[in-house]
Structure 1
Amino acid sequence: MFQFLKRDPVKKLRKAYDAKLEEAMHAQRNGDIRGYAMLTSEAEALWQQIEQLEKK
């Protein structure tokens, strides 16, 4: 009945995914290639979670 009051977990994960990609971009621009690689892999993990939730 109150389904519209529940928060969308995919929306939250997408926001975190976008933030990680932006952090990775800044790390790459500053020359921190290792930081870029770590942040990109974290973003990929978030993307996998998003895809799993969207399949349900």
Structure 2
Amino acid sequence: MFGWLKPDPKKKLQKAYEHKLQQAMEAARNGDMRANATLTEEAESLLAELKQHSS
């Protein structure tokens, strides 16, 4: 009955994924390639989880 009040986990994952990619891009711009690699890896794991939820 009140299903529309529950937050959508896919939206939350998508937002977190986009935020991690943004952080990775900023790290690359600043020359911190180690942080870029770490953040990109975290973003990829979020993407895999997002794909798992959409199936």
Q: CA RMSD in A?
A: 0.6
Q: Deviation string for 1:7-46 (max 9, x for gaps)?
A: 1000001111011000000000010011100000000000
TM-score by structure 1 length?
Answer: 0.94
TM-score by structure 2 length?
Answer: 0.95
Structure 1: which 5+ residue stretches go unaligned? none
**Aligned residues between the structures:** 55
Task: Give structure 1 regions of 4+ aligned residues with deviation exceeding 2 angstroms.
Answer: none
Percent sequence identity over aligned pairs: 55
Structure 2: which 5+ residue stretches go unaligned? none
